[in-house]
Structure 1
Amino acid sequence: MDEPIKPILFPLINANEPEMTLASIEVQQGQLVQAGQVLAVVETTKTTAEIIAESAGYVFLNHLQAGVIVRAGEHFGYLSPEPNLDLQSLRVNQEISKIGAMEKPSMDVRLTEPARRLAEQLQIDLNLLPKGEWITEQRLRRWLEEEGLGIEMTISPSVDPAAVLIFGGGGHGKSLIELIRASGQHAIAGIIDDIKPLGSLILGVPVIGRSQDLPRFYQNGYRLMINAVGGIGDISQRVSVFERGRSAGFSFPTVIHPTAFVEGSAALGEGAQLFPHAYLGSDARLGFGVIINTGAIVSHDCEVGDYVNLSPGAILAGEVKVGEATLIGMGVTVNLRVKIGAHCRIGNGATIKQDVPDRTIVRAGTIWPP
């Protein structure tokens, strides 16, 4: 192989998006490759592309770790006719090459179209963004995480006093988004979630902050928060969200789906959530933060303690009492005047005929007492 050493450059896949992710590296340092062999895969926000060896040779790489952000024109590595190559002696040029009609970014803020849409949605002050580089949607999300500025910039100058923040972007959060939209009681300002990327959308609602940002949201005028952590696996997680919201000053509105039915004599505690076709009977009492899920029935004179989660299709007969932080599974039937203690877990489809002590676990599909 008497060909000269050839640089391997990251390609310009999209003229509006010179930044990309090095998704995978398909070869090893110093490996002999053939013409047309795939060396690596890169991704933009819109597409993926393969980096192909133009000729046979030994490959020597500058980038040895997948997942990093790279730019079009940067050197990925070199193809050498010899198995030994001193990379330092090549004085690798890491500046962006002139590729096609691509312009070198000016000192102004320049955004790709997906990044611009995200910035507009989050009401970001563009003057705060990095200068002299193209800002992709992925780069913008990373910048929000690194700088912690997404919170302040997502606050609208005029806050709707009835707008709510939803804490939690999982399945229960999706159900609550649908419930709130159906009820028309509140506008949704955004989602607070400690895991999902800032700016990501859940049923069209953006993730705008983390739990540690709650005090700043309160300072900027938001007063209402809805707890979308169901706590099926661990009720303490749901309780913890309420505690964090309370410590920041938030109140928790009661939300009721239009198809749920609440008798006039029933009483609902703060933060209760009634989902489609739930029923709350005469003189029934719900504590703080109770969930009455889809199709569940709470009959007359029942007393349901704080943080109880009543799953879809569960039925409480009249005068049943349920202690705080108890989880009642789908399709559970509880007989007349039975008392279920605090911090219990009643498995799906169980039938409860007699009182259940505190912190008892009743297995799914069984009859209590055993």
Structure 2
Amino acid sequence: MGEPLKPLRIGVVGAGKISGAYLSTLDRLTSVRLTAVTDLDRSRARAVADRAGGEAALAPTVADLVARDDVDAVLNLTIPAAHADVALAALGAGKHVYGEKPLATNRKEADAVLTAARAAGLRVGCAPDTVLGTGTQTARKAVDEGLLGRPVAATAFMTTAGHETWHPDPEFYYRPGGGPLLDMGPYYLSALVHLLGPVVKVTGASSRPRAERTVGSGPRAGHTFPVEVDTHVTGVLEHVGGALSTLVMSFDVRAARLPRIEVHGSEASLSVPDPNTFDGAVEINRGGGWETLPVSAGFPDADRGVGLADLAEAVAAGRPHRASGELAAHVLDVMLTLMDAADQGRSLPVSSTCERPAPVTDQ
């Protein structure tokens, strides 16, 4: 037997709330090891370092962290506006990078990150990795095995009354770069690409029913603020194989009984669980009622960070990783093109594409 593979050494940039979900996963993975952390708030960075039992160094700045010899890859958990800058700093220092969604805030930044990675021979990974869990992957296996016949259509719905109902500081959701599509769309679009392949054309419409919103909880409850982006977005996506997906992303629906995702084929229909979670029941209807499919694919008991673990194992094995920068860039392009189509009132081609990621079949 050969020697066990050395874990990929991870430096974390950004020690905010989402870092806790990642760290709890990293704690139980053998393919990665936390070695350094930095944050603008030093106390938050120290808390993460302490959680690692003293094994993670406290880096003063991003530049210090990416320059460390004991960091192989950077886990980028900063705010979206900083995603591209941190990724480029990591790649410039010879480090792989895996980040929270979105990959960047615009196409130019996303292209710059991917170009830098290709030039340096490094990996770029990006959330969401929820689509690697047993929910979406079991559904994908059903599609791939032909249980639905020829895929014809899909529907994807994310509807809520708005994040101001629970978030104490919700303004950023309603400013440029926010809105329901850019906030939650990556989960749904990543799942649809896994299920049906990349998107080649979009048609869109959007609206902004309310000019102001009111904070509903916390010390600022009752404070009103302006809405600067459209908050109800509807789109039709044409996939490379011809299937059409109908997408609704909304901060304007008080209550709904809508499925998260359904895929309809020539022989059957499939109910897919919430793509913001890793598992959930997958149901099929062949015409005689709904039945639950057994779990047959996906990483079991997965949580935030499984995409980083897959990247680490892919580096060691010399294979493509699944939560790739190319997929994230395509998803970003689809969302931005959909918003352009809504603004212009017409269908638009999607200029980018990506490989459909390899399925997770280790069951």
- TM-score, normalised on structure 1? 0.31
> Quick check: which one's helix share is greater?
2
Higher relative contact order (CA 8 A, sep 6+): 2
- TM-score, normalised on structure 2? 0.31
